[in-house]
Structure 1
Amino acid sequence: MISITERHQHIINKLQQEGQVNVLDLCDQLSVSSVTIRKDLKLLEDKGLLFRTHGGATQNNPYTIDRPVNEKEHLQISEKTRIGIAAAKLIEPNDSILIASGTTVMALAKSIQPHALKNLTVITSALNVALELLRHPEVEVMQLGGLLRRSSSSVTGPYSESILADFSCSKLFLGVDGIDLEFGLTTTNVMEAHLNRQMINISQKAIVLADSSKFGKRGFGRICGFEDIDQIITDKGISEHTLNSLQGMGVKVTIV
């Protein structure tokens, strides 16, 4: 029978390889009960070697905090820029698109080349995105109204949601705070999560823009599951396990 030390080493090795582990998978691999695995995970968490999650564990703290936008814009700058450029290439003439809030979708706004597009309409909840696109007279910009979140410089609430009910958009470009293979896509604000769900509902295609640091993270407000999105654009920091899992769920993943 495998020893507790060997079990713990196996768990740590799997975490280093894949970034997260699943209780049922570990039961099969180690031929022990789920009770034993959960005790192992608790012991390892007590030693500061992992963070337990629902049904498993992860190498990094899965819970995100609400940071102000002027702080987040200095994180993963090059990755966000490449993601924004790739996302801008998906915009076509005569598109009516939704751009949600966040520093990665702001990188998209900066990458849009309006002179190459005709009749582009942009609806956005983010003040900084609207101000960026106002520099281009060729772009029709509609700013949603509602309660202004100071940390994200974007609006939320029932008023912004009611405005969306009158529109149908070709594409949604969505920024998120966390992408968890079990819990789905999340943000740190519940009202923003609800608005994001409304955006998904009125869009023909939902495209998530997220650098690889967002994977394995959870925010307080759940936006949706992976069945509700079509594509994720991210950087090469995504793990092979996460990439294969997303593709297995039918999500197109573009790595820049």
Structure 2
Amino acid sequence: MTLRERHKTILDLLRDSGSVDVGSLSQRLKVSAVTIRKDLDQLEEKKLLYRTHGGAILADPYIATRKVSEKEKLHPEVKRRIGQRAVELLAAQDALIIASGTTVQAFARCIPNMKMTVITSAMNVAMELLDKHDIEIIQLGGIIRHSSASVVSEYAVRMLENFTCSKLFLGVDGIDPTYGLSTTHLQEACLNRAMIQAATKTVVLADSSKFGRRGFSKICDMGDIDLVITDSRVSPKMLEAMNEQGVKVAVVPYPEE
């Protein structure tokens, strides 16, 4: 197999599974581990993949902060479908926590007018619920992050100490089976951890682009959550890794399917 053929095979495998490791590639392509490492280094120099310990992934795992107005334009139909699936978990008289992010905003938009209480850190989530008069809204206080339209501070954490809720719907910037859940902001991660402590059940709403990514601040381990709702473009390898850690996953069809 030529160098070009090896590189093509490596990239094809990456597109299929989202990640590759040196040992498996060495066996599959019948070359040494040293040769595979050189191949991966060359492909990374061309910005076709990102090297990890012992292998490579297709997308840059480190996430830069984006404004909520930019995030809202990404995968809107996928987020709507995830939101609709999350609504199926609701019951009358629920007491919910809804965190920040455009996927949970899409979920809030899908919630029907029904008797329940919603605690939220996100101003855009509160605005989505404002005309639904049977929903009591509790807005957490604190410093507003302009990029996310949500509050973060010790004040918000202290407010949560006074509540116990049935479900938390959490948006994240990154999901990595090894690293856990993460966000780009340190104080937001602290607030998210307090939300997890205040809820009986934690449901993560995240489209498939969030998998294999890492934000600056870790929120929690995979074992600290109960359910992930995502779309059908999530890789089988990611699904298997979550299943091994006891995390349930609900998958909605990607719009093109």
Shared fold (TM-score greater than 0.5)? yes
The aligned counterpart of 1:86 is 85
C-alpha RMSD over aligned residues: 2.2
Q: Secondary structure at the match of 1:107?
A: helix
Structure 2: any 5+ residue segments left out of the alignment? Answer: 253-257
> Equivalents in 2 of 1:24, 1:173: separation in Å?
38
Match of 2:157 among 140, 154, 161: 161
Match of 2:228 among 226, 232, 254: 232
Deviation at 1:123, TM superposition (A): 0.6
The aligned counterpart of 1:52 is 51
Q: Secondary structure at the match of 1:114?
A: coil
The aligned counterpart of 2:178 is 182
Give CA-to-partner distance per residue, 1:234-254, whole Å, 9 cap, x none: 112212222222222211111
Is residue 16 of structure 1 aligned with residue 12 of structure 2? no
Q: Secondary structure at the match of 2:14?
A: helix
Structure 1: any 5+ residue segments left out of the alignment? Answer: none
> Equivalents in 2 of 1:89, 1:178: separation in Å?
24
> Equivalents in 1 of 2:164, 2:21: separation in Å?
39
Give CA-to-partner distance per residue, 1:174-201, whole Å, 9 cap, x none: 0111112322211111111111111112
One-letter identity of the residue aligned with 1:94: Q
- Show the 5 A alignment for 1:95-174: 95-115=94-114, 118=115, 120-174=116-170
One-letter identity of the residue aligned with 1:131: M
> Equivalents in 2 of 1:20, 1:250: separation in Å?
21
Query: Matched residue pairs, number?
Result: 252
> Equivalents in 1 of 2:249, 2:109: separation in Å?
22
Q: Secondary structure at the match of 2:209?
A: helix
One-letter identity of the residue aligned with 1:173: F
Give CA-to-partner distance per residue, 1:139-161, whole Å, 9 cap, x none: 11111011110011100111111
Deviation at 1:94, TM superposition (A): 2.0
Q: Secondary structure at the match of 2:92?
A: coil
One-letter identity of the residue aligned with 2:21: N
> Equivalents in 2 of 1:219, 1:158: separation in Å?
21
Deviation at 1:9, TM superposition (A): 5.1
Give CA-to-partner distance per residue, 1:32-76, whole Å, 9 cap, x none: 776665444223212322101244311122222211111111110
> Equivalents in 1 of 2:13, 2:92: separation in Å?
46
TM-score (norm 1): 0.89
Describe the shift of the 1:22–1:141 C-alpha distance in structure 2 as closer, same or farther (beyond 3 A).
same
Q: Secondary structure at the match of 2:187?
A: helix
The aligned counterpart of 2:218 is 222
One-letter identity of the residue aligned with 2:77: S
The aligned counterpart of 1:241 is 237
One-letter identity of the residue aligned with 1:19: G
Q: Secondary structure at the match of 1:97?
A: strand
TM-score (norm 2): 0.89
Is residue 71 of structure 1 aligned with residue 70 of structure 2? yes
Give the % identical residues.
Answer: 52
> Equivalents in 2 of 1:14, 1:113: separation in Å?
43
> Equivalents in 2 of 1:76, 1:110: separation in Å?
15
> Equivalents in 2 of 1:222, 1:168: separation in Å?
23
> Equivalents in 2 of 1:199, 1:28: separation in Å?
45
Q: Secondary structure at the match of 1:123?
A: strand
